[in-house]
Amino acid sequence: MKVIVAKTAGFCFGVKRAVDQVYRQIEEGKKPIYTYGPIIHNEEVVRELAEKGVRIVETEEELRKLKEGTVIIRSHGVPERIYRLIEAQGLEMIDATCPFVKKIHRIVQSHSAEGREIVIIGNDGHPEVEGIKGWCSTPVTVIGEEAEAEAFLREPHPAICVVSQTTFNYKKFDKLVEIISKMRYDKLDILNTICSATEERQSEARQIAGQVDSMIVIGGSHSSNTRKLFEICKKECANTYHIQTLKDLDIRRLPSRGCVGITAGASTPNNLIEEVSKQCQI
Ligand code: SF4
């Protein structure tokens, strides 16, 4: 079987930077080490870090109980109040927020300060979106579906600033912005803050899925960018399978001849991609 592995599969710059930061703290012998939320949406990596003593703080309440240690902020970023809380607790903070996400925090903070409402094109409840909300001082609306964009038009909004979750689907962003733009605003700024790593990963996945007999998308079950990759590939190739690790791969479902494509979400380590690729070639 021929195997095509996407060049853009696996860790993006921001995720690699965050994971490297955690390993650096371990090497430096820091104890205890906490990450605010799992450092990435990959259960294998999180388990490996747990074995090395890295603990996960899930909520602000848990954070409030910490008396010592190092807290690492993951690439998704966090609301501004979490920085204040870590400082107030006297904990060491390592900020591994991806610089592209940090840029969105600065954009919404400054536009909010001018009195504009903020629209985030993204999935409500996603940690990155929750983080962005936490830098806004004016009303925020999260729009992820066309019906939500239509509903937004029912109320007047004099001045708005539109940004996007970095991992949002590019075409869907255009569609939602087209709907929002039907309204007249005194001030309207639309900033496409989708990360180019996401865009490149999605378009390469679409292109490979369109030419193979089967497509495998590797990534964590909670990874939104993996789910989006799966949606994109499934549209192009009906035989698209989402797996988290090699254990989930049912090789019998793949054609014995022909071509299989492989891509992976931003939280998927390279060794996992290589294992799956090798297994497909056996
Ligand atoms: S997808 Fe882009 S914005 Fe998100 S962590 Fe990776 S490099 Fe940063």
Backbone angles phi, psi at 259, to 5 degrees: -135, 135
- Which residue has its alpha carbon closest to ligand 1 atom 8? 14
Average pLDDT, the chain: 94
- The pLDDT-based confidence of 221 (bands split at 50, 70, 90) is confident
pLDDT at 6 over 80: yes
pLDDT value of position 255: 78
Ligand 1 in reach of 166 Cβ (< 6 A): yes
Distance from Cα 166 to the centre of ligand 1, integer Å: 7
pLDDT at 85 over 80: yes
Atom of ligand 1 nearest to the CA of 198: 1
Count Cβ atoms below 10 Å from residue 257 Cβ, excluding itself.
8
Distances (CA, A) of 75 to 18, 35, 228: 6, 11, 18
Atom of ligand 1 nearest to the CA of 128: 4
The whole-number average pLDDT for the span 152-181 is 95
Ligand 1 in reach of 202 Cβ (< 6 A): no
Distance from Cα 101 to the centre of ligand 1, integer Å: 7
Atom of ligand 1 nearest to the CA of 12: 6
Ligand 1 in reach of 97 Cβ (< 6 A): no
Atom of ligand 1 nearest to the CA of 197: 2
Q: Which of 39, 41, 74, 75 to mutate to test the pocket of ligand 1 (most atoms within 8 A of CB)?
A: 75
Distances (CA, A) of 57 to 14, 108, 117: 20, 26, 31
Distance from Cα 107 to the centre of ligand 1, integer Å: 16
Which pLDDT tens digit goes with each residue over 125-160?
Answer: 999 999 999 999 999 999 999 999 999 999 999 999
Ligand 1 in reach of 15 Cβ (< 6 A): yes
pLDDT value of position 222: 82
pLDDT value of position 220: 87
Catalytic residues: 128
What's the CA gap between 263 and 70, in Å, rounded?
34
DSSP string, 243-261: ESSGGG--GGGS-SSSEEE
- The pLDDT-based confidence of 42 (bands split at 50, 70, 90) is confident
Rounded to two decimals, the pTM is: 0.85
Q: Hey, what are 198's tokens?
A: 């996401």
Backbone angles phi, psi at 142, to 5 degrees: -105, 125
What is the C-alpha end-to-end distance of the chain, expressed in Å? 8
Q: Which residues of 93-122 are buried (b: 16+ CB within 10 A; e: fewer)?
A: ebebbbebbbebbebbbebbeeebbbbbbb
pLDDT value of position 1: 82
pLDDT value of position 198: 85
Ligand 1 in reach of 98 Cβ (< 6 A): yes
